Amino acid sequence: MGRSGGTDAEVAAKPGKKRLGGNCKKHGMDPAWNDQTLAADHSVDGPAVDGLAWRMGEFAQQLHQERTEADVLARLAQTAVDMIPGAQEASISSMVRQAMEPQCASGPLARRADELQVRLGQGPCFYVVADDPVVHVPDVATEARWPEFIARARDVGVGSMLSIRLFVASDVLGTLNLYSTDTDAFDEDAVDVGVLVAAHAAVVLVETRESDQLRDAASSRMSSGRPRGS
């Protein structure tokens, strides 16, 4: 099945890369929406698809080898920088009971930008959770949304940003945030790969969180002297 906007042949015939707007308004908050749908919509075309599929498989395997959620998040942030075109630093934030919390950052730029969003209560992190699942800021200097955050992000060196919704659990929505000191650092390929990275990571994060909960429950039973299964 081709992308929306034409048949496979029509899409293939269109020259050049697609230009990204400020956000992807076609993606709403439909209850049936999930990362698999988003990944299918942002399909990766061309001869690079085989290499990307191999790297995604390797990425999923590496995530499964991590033992804790914190380790998975750290691996995700670093892998995002390695795999997503244009990304210099990456971070993960989560919305828990209406509160945004930075979870992990691959470097100081991402950490400062995430802290600014949380402190000011505005920015792509919040917009991704509440509205569009993908938010692209090609040039911080010309971005009109979130004026207070944008002004301070520019001061700390952010040139462009890309944020992607990361589904973690029914009561927790996370965001994968990508930063660059350059303007126009992220193109359509970056979105395609970023969406796939987020979709793979979400599955592993859910499994890891469930495993952590089971381990904590077992430890609690042992410490209280209650037999397993009681």
The Cα angle at residue 124 between residues 175 and 11, in degrees rounded to 5? 80
Query: What's at 160, amino acid-wise?
Result: S
**Rounded Cα distance, 166 and 124, in Å:** 13
Q: What is the structure's pLDDT at 161?
A: 98
CA 167 to chain centre: 9
Kindly report, residue by residue over 74-116, the tens digit of the pLDDT.
888 998 999 899 999 999 998 877 889 999 999 999 999 999 9
- Identify whether the C-beta of residue 161 lies closer than 8 Å to the C-beta of residue 177: yes
Distance of alpha carbon 192 from the chain centroid: 11
- What tens digit of pLDDT does each residue of 25-64 get? 333 333 333 444 444 444 445 435 556 666 766 766 666 6
Q: 98: which residues sit within 8 A by CB, 6+ positions away?
A: none
For the chain, the helix, strand and coil percentages under 3-state DSSP, each to the nearest 5: 50, 15, 35
Q: What's the CA dihedral at 20, 79, 181, 41 to 10 degrees?
A: 10
Predicted local distance difference test score (pLDDT) of residue 98: 80
Amino acid occupying residue 65: Q
pLDDT, residue 63, reads 65
| DSSP state letter for 102 | E
* Residue 55 main-chain phi, psi, to 5 deg: -65, -35
Per residue in 197-225, pLDDT tens? 888 777 777 776 666 555 555 556 666 65
101 phi/psi in degrees, rounded to 5: -130, 120
